[in-house]
A = this chain, B = another copy of it.
Amino acid sequence: MQREPITQLELARAGTLSSAMQTVAERENLLPETILQEVAAGRMVIPANTVHLAGRLEPMCIGIAAKCKVNANIGNSAVTSDEEGELDKLHTAVHFGADTVMDLSTGRDIDRIRAAIIAASPVPIGTVPIYQMLEELGGDIEEMKPQHFLDMVEHQAKQGVDYMTVHCGVMLEHLNLTMNRVTGIVSRGGSLIAKWMMAHRKQNPLYTHFDDLCEIMRQYDVTWSLGDGLRPGSIADASDDAQFAELDVLGELTRRGQELGTQVMVEGPGHIPIDQIEMNVKKQIDICQGAPFYVLGPLVTDIAPGYDHMTSCIGAAMAGWHGAAMLCYVTPKEHLGLPEKEDVKQGMIAYKIAAHAADVARHRTGAQDRDDALSKARFEFDWNEQFRLALDPETARRYHDETLPQDTFKSANFCSMCGPKYCSMKITQDIRDMAGRDELVEIKPAETTH
């Protein structure tokens, strides 16, 4: 029986160009037909809950044909909690270019905070529903019945959540594969499901109830973000049997979810050494048939807590280059504490750099225009234009001002790094003045001694 199309995937398969697809085509500078094809093939998702779409959401897409995206995680924890603070983080993330935002709140007032975030957000909002469900169970995961989880997904879908991380792929028979790991299970949701399975000696209920979940999510066009509950939490655990056993299940669920009409993206690691990144991305693309890969970092070393936005933006840039469609940022507070507003900013900058570098490396249309415009302004000593084009104009200007604060230096042919006599760009211009181009082409040495 043919059902009325609801989700962007169903619409695309029916050949219907939705207004969301049209918006996305314009934002990406891609043909509407391309969007239609990519969404229909499951290689692109448009996370747009029908409730949020009727509100402030400005539709965007995630997929290998489009620009590489960045997600920012916000949300409180039991230790730190404050609605206004979370809205401030949302604003900061969007200001610095977050394409989506996940509310990972696990503390007090989850419902109220999420409603405020969705109401305020022009970008898709993602959640991990098991967190709020656990709060409502009083914190004991063993008490969970499948219906608790189904109800929570429906509740959040009604609120307008655009995509949800659900750890459907962690199987009971995978758990022994984690026993020799250095860092065990590091996904919060994954570890909760594992604990439930151990307590009940039963299969993952989010796996066994996958079709029921699809039915709920389809009604609101909530996009799946298939969680990687067994992602490595250290480079020692990278690319191990547990990780890839789960990935095989995620491949199966990707197909099943798409068959049932829901949009699907797939989450990935985590902590991966540089030499394993390409293999990881290619493997996901193969197993999940091109469904958008949404990676967390990966961190390429474990030795720099306090700087994991840096350790991971190396891995993220490489993952994006090899085909990851969205990069989940990591902040300087990773492994140490809950990120605050300044951490959100630092994480965003690092990941905009990574995503942009990936776009340039993949030769996405127009990706290099901003680089070229900024380099031209740099060569022309147009400092104000250089600041304007910078990812963080305020910081660039402040650094320049530290040694040369006067306005007159905003058009000076040098900066304090080299000073006037050693500015190579100034000297290059002198050279160009010394010889017109036609003459220069002819220049050969009058004598060459060696």
Asked if A435 and B198 make an inter-chain contact with CB atoms under 8 angstroms apart, the answer reads: yes
**Given A79-B419, A335-B415, A403-B338: A185 and B304 interface contact (C-beta under 8 Å):** no
Report 14 cross-chain contacts, Cβ distance below 8 Å, ordered by A residue: A77-B422, A175-B440, A185-B425, A186-B425, A187-B424, A194-B431, A202-B445, A274-B358, A300-B361, A306-B398, A307-B353, A310-B310, A310-B353, A337-B404
Interface residues in A373-420 by Cβ distance below 8 A to B read: 374-376, 378-379, 386-387, 389-392, 395-396, 398-400, 402-404, 415-420
Within 8 Å CB of A444, what residues of B? 172-173
Main secondary structure of the interface of A (DSSP, over half): helix
CB distance from A19 to the nearest CB of B (A): 31
Task: Determine if A421 is an interface residue (Cβ-Cβ < 8 Å).
Answer: yes
Asked if B448 and A337 make an inter-chain contact with CB atoms under 8 angstroms apart, the answer reads: no
Asked if B195 and A305 make an inter-chain contact with CB atoms under 8 angstroms apart, the answer reads: no
The docked-state distance in angstroms from the alpha carbon of A273 to that of B357 is 7
CB distance from A140 to the nearest CB of B (A): 10
Within 8 Å CB of A55, what residues of B? none
Within 8 Å CB of A386, what residues of B? 305
Within 8 Å CB of A210, what residues of B? 450
Task: Determine if A4 is an interface residue (Cβ-Cβ < 8 Å).
Answer: no
Option from B321, B392, B443 in Cβ contact (under 8 Å) with A274: B321
**Given A389-B303, A404-B79, A435-B198: A399 and B333 interface contact (C-beta under 8 Å):** yes
Within 8 Å CB of A198, what residues of B? 431, 434-435, 443
Asked if B314 and A357 make an inter-chain contact with CB atoms under 8 angstroms apart, the answer reads: yes
The docked-state distance in angstroms from the alpha carbon of A437 to that of B176 is 7
Within 8 Å CB of A199, what residues of B? 434
The docked-state distance in angstroms from the alpha carbon of A336 to that of B173 is 56
Given contacts A172-B444, A188-B423, A301-B357, 13 further A-B contacts (CB under 8 A): A106-B418, A172-B443, A179-B441, A201-B445, A234-B375, A274-B358, A300-B361, A301-B371, A307-B353, A310-B313, A311-B353, A332-B399, A337-B400
Task: Determine if A290 is an interface residue (Cβ-Cβ < 8 Å).
Answer: no
- Please encode chain A, from 194 to 223, with 1 for each CB lying within 8 Å of some chain B CB and 0 for all others: 110011011100011011000000000000
